[in-house]
Structure 1
């Protein structure tokens, strides 16, 4: 496949998996009841084609020795999938976790995109190897400072690949194939929510909280007054960028942890919501 044809296909997004066009499926739970090879065909379709081209991955999603580069694990109503550029890579190029919600919607629980050739920052483990769960239960401050100085955002162990905007149409086509017109996501950090706004998401919960954060980072606000150089993450001027705000919030600048935000994306619709106008990343 040529780079030009691949770029054309990825820019338009992908059609729903053929299997979803042939059968009446409405949930992750139902997909997970399919035969293994049928499940694989469905979830394989969530992999952006450009990743295969970029990393020279065969369309069988195996390496030259036949070892799988694409794996997926299913629960009753959830799925975790990962694509690695080489079989023994420490971090996946793409990690995606989807699940049904209690009210029969589709939710993206987590997705991570890594540039496997970029420097790694061990913000996900303490020096003794204890997991930090991306800084939510514990923090490796030294590695977080290094990551911040390198231009990363909270939760990133490596630089991304800049494909999130092109991944969204693939997710839209997937949920459309399951006869839904929207899917949900819970941003784990402030910068995630701003990114999702730019991609056209609306708020199911938390719009007022995001507007409050922006107001309090304005001159004289509660949050901007706490940018006092008391930690490396609270430097004056951090309020001017999405990344700076996100690191300050991650550092506990708000009394309560960041959370309580739920967003949704309607297929083919851009909401136009902006809570940080003219933001620098």
Structure 2
């Protein structure tokens, strides 16, 4: 096994989305447009809202990719143009495959909007291969109790396995292309090694603490991109750290992108806009 080196470090920047929701975004930015097959990562919070302050993302369309929402604190309610309704709370994951198109909303829960409360979570956008871009939309919702977890033999590393496998635990989520999505917690003095095929693109995003990736030290809201020069990633922490480790097989397909539409050609983007404007998104 060969340890991957790092290709660089990016610090996430805050910006507003939806109806004024503050997110911290490592990509897409001017420095990194995408990391095939990943299109976007947003950190929502952590923030404590007063009554009436919490913001979300009212009705908006998607076509041609997947959104993966992972809630750490608080709760999010969603609804869409096909009549689906749901709620995900702390530790839960929603993996939405937009496919041919949905119009949906993602809002803090009614009680948080009304009474205030704490919100923290992530949303990852995963591109779909050409063959799946017009598939029927679907949702996979996993409660925290349904998501596998594992610990290292010395007890210093705990991993929540959202997609892929780690430390002997395998995720139950069904992904359209091979994906690894891990929430890794390291205590002081921990060292963690995760196998990742050399063909995968991979990155880590630090939630807190300080993590050492060989020649790169990353802190809160730093994203570390790995070279494809090895088949495992090594992470260490002297004083403890918490991070997401995400990897996937690149699609190597053309990407045409306009807001919430991600297709392969400009013509497909124009068609998506026409379909949305004429009510063909369910």
Instruction: Please report the TM-score for the alignment, with normalisation by the length of structure 1.
Output: 0.23
Instruction: Please report the TM-score for the alignment, with normalisation by the length of structure 2.
Output: 0.23
Structure number with the higher strand fraction is 2
Structure number with the higher helix fraction is 1
Larger RCO (CA within 8 A; separation ≥ 6): 2
Highest Rg: 1 or 2? Answer: 1
